[in-house]
Amino acid sequence: MGKLILETKRNLFKPANRIERTPSSVTREILKVIDTPGMISFAGGLPDDSLFPIQEFSEIFADSISKKGPKLFQYSDTQGHSELRAWIAGRYYPNSSPDEILLTAGSQQALDILARYFIEDGSNILLERPSYLGAIQVFSSYNPFFLGIDYEEEGPDPEKIKYILEHSSEDLKFFYTIPDFQNPSGRSYSIQNREIISKYFYDHKIPILEDTAYRELSFENHIPISLCELGPEHTISIGTFSKTLAPGLRVGWIRAPKSIVKDLIVQKQSIDLHSPSINQELVFQFVSSSKYEKHLSLIRETYKRKSDFTFNCLKERFEDSIPLHSPQGGLFYWIEFPKEIDTDILFKKCLEKGLAAVPGSSFFINEAERNRLRWNFSNATKEETKLGAERLFNVYKEIRSEK
């Protein structure tokens, strides 16, 4: 009887092929197990929620309601909150106008809208190796052909980029890149690589999709020029308030040439009409207040401190058995184990010991580097970090001793 019902359902609902193509995100799967008692998780890309300015949100909510009234909860413009768009243009895109900004439900929706815009069955797209797994996931459902370029210490090697651009049998639809404190590698482009790579794509008339999600999270004071500033004509930029303010608000954006934004607005119209105005209002009132710069400084200092502490804990356990590079910003350590360690196996053993982090294989489309582990340091306490490093080292020792 149970079987009969199942078969009926299978006949009844006939999903499109894309349903099989969309991989379930590993981190989202991990999020489900992190509530297991005793589990310590370094798996998500979670900002430190103790830093969220929730009291200020509460004050803004009450204040905006009394000033703007029920219109804040009515249907509203698809492109989004005009003052927030002006603020984003002013801060991140000199010489761009608010018309060139489309507000989205976080940067994940920005990726989906751009995938819809660009990708046909079999379109060539170029991604970094490794790359953000949420991007790999959403691009996959549009069935592109993935090309990869290694993300080295200072970004992709321009000569390899040049080779790809000159030797692709068909035009690339775009190059998706995270030049600042990349997820998962924590690496950034050198200024020189930014300039050369931007120029190569410009010369070949191939658009760049620059994801700036971690750009504000620099442990130093200076942030190098963005690809979008270097080449606004051929670069589409994606941003988010998830890391600087709070991910649960789901407010991100796309900056693109105006003619493109016009088409993207129609897509967004069709997929959710518009994003909630009140969430955009909360973001706008906070980021445009005098409190925002202080808030950013606090986040940067906190994450630098947490990154340093993580380094010390890992160093104390592993000593010189693995190389350790501390990131200059962002949320991640990209831990490198000896070549013979398969982190898919290590990951499973870690889960048994009450430790979650993401195996490197999740971040590659084709041939994966199997000896990497992504470690999110921004949302753990000192005690958790210390204990986490200890558990990781114990599992590592155990696997080594089995070899």
Restricting to residues 33-62, name those near a second copy by CB under 8 A. Answer: 44-47, 49-50, 52, 54-55, 57-58, 61-62
- Figure out which of the listed residues 75, 169, 366, 403 binds a second copy, where binding follows CB under 8 A: 75
203 binds a second copy (CB under 8 A): no
What distance in Å separates the CA atoms of residue 242 and residue 222, rounded to the nearest whole number? 21
User: 191 vs 271, which CB is nearer to a second copy?
Assistant: 271
Compute and round to an integer the Cα radius of gyration of the chain.
22
13 binds a second copy (CB under 8 A): yes
Tokens, residue 51: 């830093």
User: 78 vs 185, which CB is nearer to a second copy?
Assistant: 78
173 binds a second copy (CB under 8 A): yes
What distance in Å separates the CA atoms of residue 138 and residue 113, rounded to the nearest whole number? 10
CB of residue 137 vs a second copy: minimum separation in angstroms? 5
24 binds a second copy (CB under 8 A): yes
Residue 78: φ, ψ to 5°: -65, -40
74 binds a second copy (CB under 8 A): yes
User: 284 vs 337, which CB is nearer to a second copy?
Assistant: 284
277 binds a second copy (CB under 8 A): yes
Residues in binding contact with a second copy, number by CB under 8 A: 89
Give the binding range for a second copy (CB under 8 A) out of 137-145, 284-292, 316-324, 349-357: 137-145
CB of residue 111 vs a second copy: minimum separation in angstroms? 9
CB of residue 245 vs a second copy: minimum separation in angstroms? 8
359 binds a second copy (CB under 8 A): no
177 binds a second copy (CB under 8 A): no
What distance in Å separates the CA atoms of residue 275 and residue 113, rounded to the nearest whole number? 13
CB of residue 215 vs a second copy: minimum separation in angstroms? 19
User: 53 vs 371, which CB is nearer to a second copy?
Assistant: 53
CB of residue 250 vs a second copy: minimum separation in angstroms? 5
- Figure out which of the listed residues 138, 230, 368, 373 binds a second copy, where binding follows CB under 8 A: 138
Give the binding range for a second copy (CB under 8 A) out of 66-74, 300-308, 331-339, 363-371: 66-74
User: 59 vs 344, which CB is nearer to a second copy?
Assistant: 59
Rounded to 5°, the CA angle 11-17-20 comes to 90
User: 127 vs 395, which CB is nearer to a second copy?
Assistant: 127
Binding to a second copy (CB under 8 A) within 82-101 occurs at: none
- Figure out which of the listed residues 106, 330, 359, 360 binds a second copy, where binding follows CB under 8 A: 106
Which amino acid, residue 355? L
276 binds a second copy (CB under 8 A): yes
**Contact track, a second copy, 143-172, x by CB under 8 A:** ----------------------------x-
- Figure out which of the listed residues 34, 83, 86, 117 binds a second copy, where binding follows CB under 8 A: 117
Alpha carbon 361 to its chain centroid, in Å, reads: 16
Q: Are 76 and 83 in contact (CB under 8 A)?
A: no
Query: SS3 letters for the chain?
Result: CHHHHHHHHHHHCCCCCHHHHCCCCHHHHHHHHCCCCCCEECCCCCCCHHHCCHHHHHHHHHHHHHHHHHHHHCCCCCCCCHHHHHHHHHHHCCCCCHHHEEEECHHHHHHHHHHHHHCCCCCEEEEEECCCHHHHHHHHCCCCEEEEEECEECECCHHHHHHHHHHCCCCEEEEEECCCCCCCCCCCCCHHHHHHHHHHHHHCCCCEEEECCCCCCECCCCCCCCHHHHCCCCEEEEEECCCCCCHHHCCEEEECCHHHHHHHHHHHHHHHCCCCHHHHHHHHHHHCCCHHHHHHHHHHHHHHHHHHHHHHHHHHHHCCCCCCCCCCECCEEEEECCCCCCHHHHHHHHHHCCEECEEHHHHCCCCCCCCEEEEECCCCCHHHHHHHHHHHHHHHHHHHHHC
- Figure out which of the listed residues 82, 168, 190, 267 binds a second copy, where binding follows CB under 8 A: 267
User: 63 vs 308, which CB is nearer to a second copy?
Assistant: 63
- Figure out which of the listed residues 160, 205, 348, 382 binds a second copy, where binding follows CB under 8 A: 205
CB of residue 271 vs a second copy: minimum separation in angstroms? 4
CB of residue 319 vs a second copy: minimum separation in angstroms? 34
